[in-house]
Amino acid sequence: MVFVNIGPPSTGADSDGPGAAAARITGRTVRGERRLSASLAEVGLDDGQSVMVKRADGPGAVLAEAAGLRWLADAGTVRVPDVHGHDRRWLVTDLVAQGPATAPAAVRFGRGLAALHAAGAPALGAPPPGGPVDAYIGLAPMRNVSGTDWPRWYAEHRVLPYLREAVDRGTIRPSETAVIERVCERLPELAGPAEPPARLHGDLWNGNVLWGADGHAWLIDPAAHGGHRETDLAMLHLFGCPHLEDVLDGYRQTAPLADGWADRVALHQLFPLLVHAVLFGRGYAEQALAAARRALA
């Protein structure tokens, strides 16, 4: 890995960039950095260790992510990078050395994910300990409001807020909302059997699963909260995941899924698709509408 030498912390190229943030938060001398994006960098420290440094997407985002990583790690199931520290704008974590995705790693990941979900949460919508109520999923605000009835909670706090926002932005037309509103009305019959609140990653698309050089899957960038375990599995289906069938096999070896879970994938994908419609536009709105129609079929 090639780093750009930026000298000691006080002479960094950017006084509020990732190198300076890593030095300030860890109290260590920074020897170089490699920018991955405007908000993400790998930073080399004085002992040869490298860390990942990430800038916040919005107020409270750093605290929410740090609390989420720690909450997932506390379950001791799936591997999660250690949090070295943070301030209001920057988060410093371990850097995950990546390797190939393999079927054995996928089975281990599935087993660990089932155990993570079984670690539970105090309530639906419960934020991680120490995490803010006003959190984020990706770049979108996500409010963690606690509830006990999943169909009602999912409609009121996950689907309808993003539907309203998509309509306000002109991404979904008012004439198109009826099919999604109909899903919300029918959620008590569509949701399947009631389950206890699971400890969710909350934004479990393929990009937030890193396949480590150690032969294990690692979780990053959570929108962690208490929810329905099928939501995480639906996210893995949404954008594809290497060896997904092996992940599911490992999951079911540890915790069988409720009958009809595969028929509810579209129902659980409705929330992330509406989030993407708000953030990225019409193409995802059309996918959300299609998911709503599948959920009703």
Distance spanning both ends of the chain, measured CA to CA:
51
Dump pLDDT digits (tens) for 69-126.
999 999 999 999 999 999 999 999 999 999 999 999 999 999 999 999 999 999 999 9
Farthest-apart Cα atoms in the chain, separation = 61
In a domain, 41, yes or no: yes
Mean pLDDT value of segment 56-68: 90
Is residue 203 part of the annotated active site? The answer reads yes
In a domain, 3, yes or no: no
Statement to judge: residues 125 and 266 lie in one domain: yes
Mean pLDDT value of segment 136-143: 93
In a domain, 2, yes or no: no
Sheet holding 90-94, edge to edge: 30-37, 40-45, 50-55, 90-94, 83-86
Question: What residues make up the domain containing 53?
Answer: 9-94
Statement to judge: residues 72 and 181 lie in one domain: no
What are the structure tokens assigned to 144, written together? 């963690």
Statement to judge: residues 218 and 281 lie in one domain: yes
Mean pLDDT value of segment 193-208: 97
pTM (global) more than 0.85: yes
> How far is the C-alpha of 109 from the C-alpha of 216, rounded, in Å?
7
Statement to judge: residues 74 and 196 lie in one domain: no
Q: Which of 82, 134, 203, 232 is catalytic?
A: 203
Statement to judge: residues 71 and 107 lie in one domain: no
Q: How many structural domains comprise the chain?
A: 2
Dump pLDDT digits (tens) for 233-257.
999 999 999 999 999 999 999 999 9
The CATH number assigned to the domain holding 42 equals: 3.30.200.20
Mean pLDDT value of segment 207-232: 97
